[in-house]
Structure 1
Amino acid sequence: MKSCAIFIALLTLFCQGVSFISGRSTGNHNRSNKYGQTDGNDTRGYISIDCGNTEGDSTYYQSDAAFIDTGVNKEISPDLLPYMPPSYCRTVRRFPDGERNCYTLKPLNGRDNSYLIRAHFMYGNYDGQNRAPVFNVYVGVSFWGKVMPVSPFMEFVLEIIHKPSTDFIYICLVDIGQGTPFISALLLRPLNNSTYVSDLGSLRTIMRLSTDRVASVSQTAQIPSYSEDKYGRIWPPLPPIASSPSEGWEVFSTSTDLSHLKNDAYEVPLSILKGGIRPSGSNHSFTFNLPGIGQGIHPSFIFSIYWHFAETQKLDANESRELNIFASNNFDSGPITLKYMEAVTVVAPAINIGPDSVLWFTINQTNDSSLPPILNAFEIYAVTKLSHAATNQHDVNAIMDVKTQYYKLLNGWHGDPCLPAAPWNGVNCSDSNSDSPRITSLNLASRGLTGEILPALSSLTSLSYLNLSHNELTGTVPEFLAKLPSLIIIDLRENKLSGSVPTELMEKARSGSLSLSLDGNPDLCTMDVCMKKSKKLTEKHMVWVSLVAFVFLALVLLAVAVFCFYRWKRKAGSTTAPQSVLHGGDGMESKNRKFSYSEVMNMTNKLQTIIGKGGFGTVYHGCLKDGTEVAIKILKGSSIMNVQSFRTEAELLMRVHHRSLVSLVGYCDERCTMALIYEYMANGNLQEHLSGERTRTLGWKERLQISIDAAEGLEYLHCGCKPAVIHRDLKTANILLDHRVRAKLADFGISRIFSTESATHISTDHVAGTPGYLAPE
């Protein structure tokens, strides 16, 4: 059995992604490829970045300005331009500052989808030193590869197939002290998720060869690309060292029109499938030996191989082409029959070889085949486990909020906060050898920060050192700083903070458990007298709030009495009782309905946001399918009547409509859960405004209007409804305010409904909910 031996030097060339540029080797690079993008392909989700180019190419490439804000743009040496390097290699972005610099890519398809990512590096003697740097490249926080350009004239390429677990992909260049990192181009292509599947990790490209032709000696390392490859894959030809007839195989090609060929999910370009190799002479097989893979080419010892076939020869009735593939680690594909004008890909997903073993494969003609085997192309990938733990997600979310607030002031904050290599400038992290690292120190001194101290810092629970000194921060010192369990040093000097320092924070400082620096904040009071003064002001404020609440409630009751007396006088002179909505209904009624338990869970996002609690139950914020905001009250078990009574009362009350009553949108009585769905009142309840819980102060005109609205609502319940409804629990907490600060009564829907003819039999000994005003009538 003859073999095709590809030597170590050649393997090094392809496996490390080096390509040589020459005057005749770049025809497919210059303009027409966009790394495989043409007008005929679906280019949605493509990312093609010409690094260091401030303007980009409006047709094919884009500038990298939107993907990174560090680095310096440079042009390669003019001495190389006569050699016609690819357009994307004529500029570079170099990174003289910082140990790591990261590009941020946001693929259109988001997380958990497969992408081909390729990075191009051509030194081009841009700095005139004739000494190409060496540095590391990471995907996220995990090592991807080391860039080691052979010479200024050689293009170095790293390629990987990666499925990210987040919506962002960070490509980071890390300085290892052997020259300034740089990059020429960066490409991302979305893949078909049914292809290149690996459960063991990402796939780093080791080799991809088209067997339909052999490169000439002068083009040994050329790597042409193909505009028709929608995934931007590069298909180099067979090396010249493998072209000897003594190797036992020969190259073939066909002129057959392949436009009707049935391609598979891998969609290898038709130009690749037009030819390939087959055994020569009387041979029935051919072998590829790939020495060195696993020893110096890549540290991985698990490889995936993809063989691509297409039968382009029309076979006679008595002819067939059946083959079998054998490879390292006892891989056996079993018999594979090729069909005319159909492409097929055979995959060896995980071939495990030892560090001293040789990766090889043999393609045999089976005993049942009348024709020898063929091979159109093949790909070899190293399984790369990108398993390094990223920074704790809670810390990431918090520090990202800080970054968003101060984006223009925090250049270089890209990628993971802690990894790889050095963390962000001003950030220190815990040891990352095992668990996800935590942010332990944050130094944002002298960064020009403005506004209040961000609440997002409260989520950095492992923070031990916080320095926000020498900025323009305003507002008060937040109480959450005293709640951070690991915080032992806080430096807030030279800001514009005001008010008093939280008592708990001062007590920690006095006990020695916390180092607190506050000098240079002239409006900030740290003396005990401030604490006492603040306490006295709070007590005085509560007295005034109580007095105002009492006066306001008295006004409401007076207004109710006046309206009821007026209504009673008007009814005494009339022989026709007022028409109640309960006997008719209007257009609103069509929107009221019964909701299922699952609908209640969906509209509240599984009871996520509590907006109130009371004697009847807890109130949650929610949204209907059309986006209408609602308030959902889940009744307590002790508040619930029997199901039939609840249903009857809810359906009756859904027909009560008045501008001064909170509308009941619907109800739920499923799975032992009884809930009432009300319209949402944007300005909360009156009690919050009177007690100072809300910052907005009600004017006297607004207070008077609220009194009138409440009185009208109560008068309607008592006199305008048939049967009449007694509220039973009137208090400021049940007077809600809409976006116009108009008042509406709430919680009347949980009161008992009674007939006016039997009003004397109503029992008021037990009133549900919390104590409130009960009308004497």
Structure 2
Amino acid sequence: MGRFKHFIAALFGGLALILLVHAQDQSDFISIDCGLQANWSYTEPSTSINYISDAAFIDTGVSKKISSEFEGDFQQPTWTLRSFPEGIRNCYSINVTQGQKYLIRATFLYGNYDGQNLLPQFDLHLGPNMWDTVKIENNVSYVVLMELIHVPSLNYLQVCLVNTGLGTPFISAIEFRPLNNRAYVTSVGSLALFARYDLGSVNNKSYRYKDDVYDRTWAAKHYNKWKSLSTSLTIDSEMYNPYWVPSVVMSTAATPINESGPLEFYLPPEANSKYYVYMHFAELVKLKANQSRSFNITLNGELWYDGTVVPSYLFTNTLFSPSALTGGNYVFSIFKTENSTLPPIINAIEIYTVKHFPQSETDKQDGMLFVTQVKLLMRVHHRNLTTLVGYYYEGANMGLIYEYMANGDLEAHLSGENTNILSWEARLQIAMDAAQGLEYLHHGCKPPIIHRDVKSTNILLNEKFRAKLADFGLSKTFPTDDTHLSTVVAGTPGYLDPE
């Protein structure tokens, strides 16, 4: 029996070591230094993280360097940047693992790279969705960090800079760090970092990789009503704990100066914000037989965690919100139980806000199909079809460019919105023009094209009120030998044109 226990202990210890070694390997990191010369790479001295140029991920923008006076104050990934003086929306396209949870970090240091001393403001998007607004505030050496925990639904993601007319967008670095999929579970949405604190720190240092295997940044935080506890021993994570908070962070803890009082902290009242809170605990003191430490956690006076918390000696325990906290004022209180001889502690805390990304990324196959269909349509020419003169395909945005039709669409004339009154002769001619356009699509094209959304708003009129069919965005080609008819719905849902 004794040998079996030793075998089980060794087995679990070996598994923990394998998991940790795998997590420490940065081979799955994506570390992009924006603006770095093409094909260049380097190892950042303070973190030992390998960075590569962004040239393979984007073909727009210009490379710039921050003013040399700031280089000594910041790490190398912020020395260069890519700015986007042209175009409203510029996107990086980055290959990722579909379904893998990532920490995504975007870094911005203006550093007066353009010599203008003008602090820009612009939007940051993840694919088609708004991530956040980047505001360079206070001074030219102000660093903005945007961090997100997100699970991509496709095998690539786009990080986009959007010009909002308040300055030229730019970006210094983009980083992707794979996380354990069991960590940071939410009922809905992605998570944007609000705060991540090393509580009870005794040196005011911040920590990231290699101390943190996931390369999270932990900032020291102090409150005047708290004091610090610390240990020189290693703090391990429980086998079931996927958060892997660094030992150097967990080796300090905050406890109230008034040992009979609570630890308290607040969340700001943001009407539209939803919060997830993750608290990390570890006992740092080898308790004597007559000592005990247990405490409860309340939120606005109500139990936040259903049960008494008893931290494990030199092991990390993590407690988190089962669901998002929505709006209002939040006061967390951690106070010792009646039977506890020692005050409460907390070692670290993470707070995130929920980010909803309702629009899905465009699949690469959809994009390829779009381009193929457009090239086919550009070869279609008929007097009763609007001429497709071009298209744009920028990241998640796709569009068709047709010839200009002076008298707009038929719907405006039939509904009375336009002052021009169509005679019955003109109406008959328009119907014949539309029919001839459809006839050409069905029988004059090889392969045949089915429009699939014929309605009055898709019949356009030129300066002579001759009609041309438009909006081929929903058109579909069919092989001439196709014996099967698709029943997939397309066009305007629930619509049958009364005209």
**TM-score of the aligned structures, taking structure 1 as reference length:** 0.45
Report the counterpart of residue 325 of structure 2 in structure 1.
Answer: 352
Q: What is the percentage of aligned positions where both structures have the same residue? A: 34
Letter in 2 for 1:171: V
User: Which residue of the other structure, out of 475, 478, 483, is the alignment partner of 2:450?
Assistant: 483
The answer to whether the 8 A contact 2:23-2:214 is kept is: no
Pairing of 1:615-634 with structure 2 (within 5 A): none
Question: Per the alignment, in what secondary structure is the counterpart of residue 52 of structure 1?
Answer: coil
Give the unaligned 5+ runs of structure 2.
1-19, 44-49, 377-389, 404-436, 438-443, 456-464, 471-480, 484-499
Letter in 2 for 1:375: I
Alignment CA distance shift 1:40-1:161 (3 Å): closer
The answer to whether the 8 A contact 1:160-1:204 is kept is: yes
The answer to whether the 8 A contact 1:142-1:387 is kept is: yes
Report the counterpart of residue 336 of structure 2 in structure 1.
Answer: 365
**RMSD across aligned C-alpha pairs, in angstroms?**
3.6
Report the counterpart of residue 340 of structure 1 in structure 2.
Answer: 313
Aligned residues: 385
Alignment CA distance shift 1:96-1:223 (3 Å): farther
Which stretch shows the higher mean deviation, 52-61 or 202-211? 52-61
Structure (1 or 2) with the larger CA radius of gyration: 1
Q: Does 1:253 align with 2:230?
A: yes
**In structure 2, how many angstroms separate the alpha carbons of the residues matched to 1:352 and 1:42?**
35
Report the counterpart of residue 106 of structure 2 in structure 1.
Answer: 119
Alignment CA distance shift 1:262-1:395 (3 Å): closer
Which stretch shows the higher mean deviation, 260-269 or 147-156? 260-269
Alignment CA distance shift 1:321-1:414 (3 Å): farther
**In structure 2, how many angstroms separate the alpha carbons of the residues matched to 1:113 and 1:255?**
35
Letter in 1 for 2:323: A
The answer to whether the 8 A contact 1:323-1:363 is kept is: yes
The answer to whether the 8 A contact 2:255-2:346 is kept is: yes
Give the drift of 1:75: 0.5
**In structure 2, how many angstroms separate the alpha carbons of the residues matched to 1:388 and 1:136?**
17
Q: Does 1:225 align with 2:208?
A: yes
Letter in 1 for 2:347: N
Give the drift of 1:513: 5.2
Alignment CA distance shift 1:403-1:180 (3 Å): farther
Moved over 6 A (4+): 37-40, 259-263, 402-405
Question: Per the alignment, in what secondary structure is the counterpart of residue 479 of structure 1?
Answer: coil
Alignment CA distance shift 1:48-1:260 (3 Å): closer
Report the counterpart of residue 138 of structure 1 in structure 2.
Answer: 125
Alignment CA distance shift 1:427-1:89 (3 Å): farther
Report the counterpart of residue 61 of structure 1 in structure 2.
Answer: 51
Letter in 2 for 1:204: A
Letter in 2 for 1:77: S
Q: Does 1:79 align with 2:63?
A: no
The answer to whether the 8 A contact 1:413-1:425 is kept is: no
Alignment CA distance shift 1:427-1:74 (3 Å): farther
Alignment CA distance shift 1:309-1:166 (3 Å): same
Letter in 1 for 2:265: F
Alignment CA distance shift 1:402-1:482 (3 Å): closer
Identify, as 1 or 2, the structure richer in helix: 1
Report the counterpart of residue 410 of structure 2 in structure 1.
Answer: none
**In structure 1, how many angstroms separate the alpha carbons of the residues matched to 2:400 and 2:140?**
32
Pairing of 1:29-178 with structure 2 (within 5 A): 41-54=24-37, 55-59=39-43, 60-81=50-71, 83-107=72-96, 110-150=97-137, 151-178=139-166
Give the drift of 1:396: 3.8
Pairing of 1:398-437 with structure 2 (within 5 A): 398-399=369-370, 413-418=393-398
Give the unaligned 5+ runs of structure 1.
1-36, 217-221, 419-423, 429-463, 465-476, 489-510, 517-610, 614-777
Give the drift of 1:480: 3.9
Give the drift of 1:134: 0.3
**In structure 1, how many angstroms separate the alpha carbons of the residues matched to 2:159 and 2:165?**
19
Letter in 2 for 1:274: S
The answer to whether the 8 A contact 1:116-1:191 is kept is: yes
Alignment CA distance shift 1:399-1:338 (3 Å): same
**In structure 2, how many angstroms separate the alpha carbons of the residues matched to 1:160 and 1:377?**
19
User: Which residue of the other structure, out of 347, 357, 378, is the alignment partner of 1:376?
Assistant: 347
Pairing of 1:293-304 with structure 2 (within 5 A): 293-294=269-270, 300-304=272-276
**In structure 2, how many angstroms separate the alpha carbons of the residues matched to 1:267 and 1:95?**
38
Pairing of 1:275-286 with structure 2 (within 5 A): 275-286=252-263
Alignment CA distance shift 1:349-1:172 (3 Å): farther
Identify, as 1 or 2, the structure richer in strand: 2
Letter in 1 for 2:170: F
Give the drift of 1:211: 0.6
Letter in 2 for 1:126: Y
Alignment CA distance shift 1:159-1:152 (3 Å): same
Give the drift of 1:263: 8.1
The CA deviation string for residues 452-503 of structure 1, in whole angstroms up to 9 with x for no partner, is xxxxxxxxxxxx9xxxxxxxxxxxx952464334589xxxxxxxxxxxxxxx
